[in-house]
Structure formats: C-alpha cells, structure tokens
Amino acid sequence: MMRYHDIMRTIVDIPEEDIRWLDQKAAETGKSRTALVREAVSFYRAEKPKDWIGRGRGYWKDRDDIGDGVDYQRRIREDRGFD
C-alpha cells in the first residue's frame, strides 16, 4: 500500500509537443498525464540493459556448422560485393 511519504511530487519541464502527445495518449487510454508518466518511469526502470553486445556474447559458441567466424562473415556477405 502506497503511503503519502512514498510519493514524490515534482515539477518537470516538458516540451509542448510532448505535452500534446501525452494529452492525446491520455485521451486514447482514459488515463491521466500523471499515470502515463508513472508508467513510463516504471517501464524505463524495468528495461533491460542496452549492452546488446555483452548479452549476445557466446550465443554461437557451441555451433560447429559455421567454422571460422571471419570466413563465415565473408560467406554471408558475398552478395554485397565487399572485398
């Protein structure tokens, strides 16, 4: 249960274009601007790190059908005309 001291009130400068967008989304969803901003903060907090290179490391390490990585890249890019 949320208590009063668990809530932060703040003033945020948001460009008019974004305010219009928020108003449109609020009308479409039947939510308030405040509710949309709260959802955006929750979504942002839950978002996975953007270190996609680190997350992808090792995905193909057990593949034995590719061979040398550089040779594989050259084969799949043959149609692009890179040399």
**4 pLDDT exceeds 80?**
no
Q: Which amino acid is at 38?
A: R
11: Cβ contacts below 8 Å, ≥ 6 apart: none
Q: Which amino acid is at 13?
A: D
Mean pLDDT of 18-25: 96
Tell me which DSSP letter residue 5 carries: G
Mean pLDDT of 68-81: 83
- Using a cut of 0.75, tell me whether the model's pTM lies above it: no
Q: What is the pLDDT of residue 18?
A: 95
